[in-house]
Amino acid sequence: MATSRIRLPLLDWPMLAVSVALLVIGLATVYSATTVPGAHQGLWIKQFGWMVLAVGAAWVATTFHYRAHDPLAYPLYGISLVLLVAVLVLGSSAFGARRWLDLGPIRFQPSEIAKIATVFVLARRFSDPRLDLHRFKHWFPALLVALVPFALVAREPDLGTSLAFPVILVVMYFWAGMPWQTLALALSPAVTLVLAFVLDPRHPGFWLLIGGGLAALLVVTRPGRLLLIAAVAMHLAVGLGTPVVKSKLHDYQLRRVETFLNPDQDPQGAGYQIIQSRIAIGSGGITGKGWLKGTQKALSFLPMRHTDFIFAV
């Protein structure tokens, strides 16, 4: 009598080991962050449930050839954009933002679907053997793929989630083999963006600083004519557009940016979380205080420790 066996799919074992390690470390860290009595105590149980579902989904995904996802990329991307537009009109409103769609008993964030769809589309584009990321016409469409969901999510407004799209794009540019010179030029407008928040773009000194830095970068990278024009245009657009965008930001968004750049301007208010997280990280030194032994967490000095600040635990 033949016995049936469960056949393991071909796996990248080093990547699997790293993924499992990250899952375990993440769960242990969430547990550590939520052991102190409070509103989020026991959150690690929900995290464990999502972890089990994620492992199951990953297992199913490995049973398909990776090219099987290609036909899904653009339809999924299109559906995600429709959902992002729908959430602006029909989404549930909370704290001045529309981020969730309710479909009967199911409530979800379309931005999470948009992240996966964006990765699928970029992966399909970057796997094309004819791709040459030295050329503007080959890397610019990928920028638009990430820019559209970025703009829609920022409109909700959800500043934190929207910033995930540029990060995804940069990582995949790098992974696809974009030359460092091109990548440096593509990222350089981010410096102009930060300076436009800190300094006054109406002051001539701002443009002297930006112009000098860009000129030095162009000398080092020596881009082609089209890339040079694109780089200058992006810096001008960011420098001139930031004051307009800044005036349109919600108060909480503007405070978040200003606090990130200078948390000491409001140490008892908006800057409290950042300052306490720095104290927590500094008190642990290089090796940390040990699992479950963080004093800033235990004494509740770090209020939102289970969020993006979990590294401080």
Asked if 258 contacts 265 with a C-beta cutoff of 8 angstroms, the reply is yes
Is residue 281 included in any domain, yes or no? yes
Query: Which residues on neighbouring strands pair with residue 97, listed in sequence order?
Result: 94
254 and 189 in a common domain: yes
Angle between helix 164-175 and 110-126 (nearest 10): 20
Asked if 143 contacts 98 with a C-beta cutoff of 8 angstroms, the reply is no
pLDDT class of 74 with cuts at 50, 70, 90 = very high
- Domain stops at, among 143, 178, 213: 178
102 and 78 in a common domain: yes
155 and 246 in a common domain: no
257 and 279 in a common domain: no
Is residue 208 included in any domain, yes or no? yes
Peptide bond into 157 cis (omega under 30): yes
Q: How far apart are CA 139 and CA 125, in angstroms?
A: 9
CA angle 100, 104, 105 (to 5 degrees): 85
- Averaged pLDDT of the chain: 80
Query: Which residues on neighbouring strands pair with residue 103, listed in sequence order?
Result: 106
pLDDT class of 7 with cuts at 50, 70, 90 = low
Nearest to 33 by CA among 47, 13, 18: 47
Buried-exposed string 219-248: b where 16+ CB fall within 10 A, e elsewhere: eebebeeebbebbeebbeebbeebeeeeee
Locate 159 and state its tokens.
């500043």
Q: How far apart are CA 217 and CA 227, in angstroms?
A: 13
Express each pLDDT in 225-260 by its tens digit: 887 888 888 888 888 888 887 777 777 667 767 776
Nearest to 230 by CA among 115, 136, 107, 114: 136
277 and 237 in a common domain: no
Q: Which of 15-24, 57-66, 215-224, 296-305 has the lowest mean pLDDT?
A: 296-305
User: Which domain, by its residues, includes 209?
Assistant: 179-261
Is residue 156 included in any domain, yes or no? yes
205 and 123 in a common domain: no
Give the neighbor-by-neighbor strand order of the sheet with 97-103. Answer: 92-94, 97-103, 106-108
Is residue 294 included in any domain, yes or no? yes
Express each pLDDT in 103-130 by its tens digit: 777 778 888 899 999 999 999 999 888 8
Is residue 190 included in any domain, yes or no? yes
Is residue 108 included in any domain, yes or no? yes
Through-space distance between the first and last CA atoms of the chain, rounded to whole angstroms:
55
Asked whether residue 94 carries a pLDDT value surpassing 80, the answer given is: no
Give the residue with greater pLDDT, 92 vs 39. Answer: 92
Nearest to 81 by CA among 39, 45, 122, 111: 111
Express each pLDDT in 261-282 by its tens digit: 676 676 666 666 677 777 766 7
The phi-psi region of residue 273 (left if phi > 0; otherwise alpha if psi is between -120 and 50; otherwise beta) is alpha
130 and 104 in a common domain: yes
Q: How far apart are CA 230 and CA 125, in angstroms?
A: 21
In the chain, the number of structural domains is 3
Is residue 47 included in any domain, yes or no? no
Is residue 298 included in any domain, yes or no? yes
169 and 98 in a common domain: yes
165 and 73 in a common domain: yes
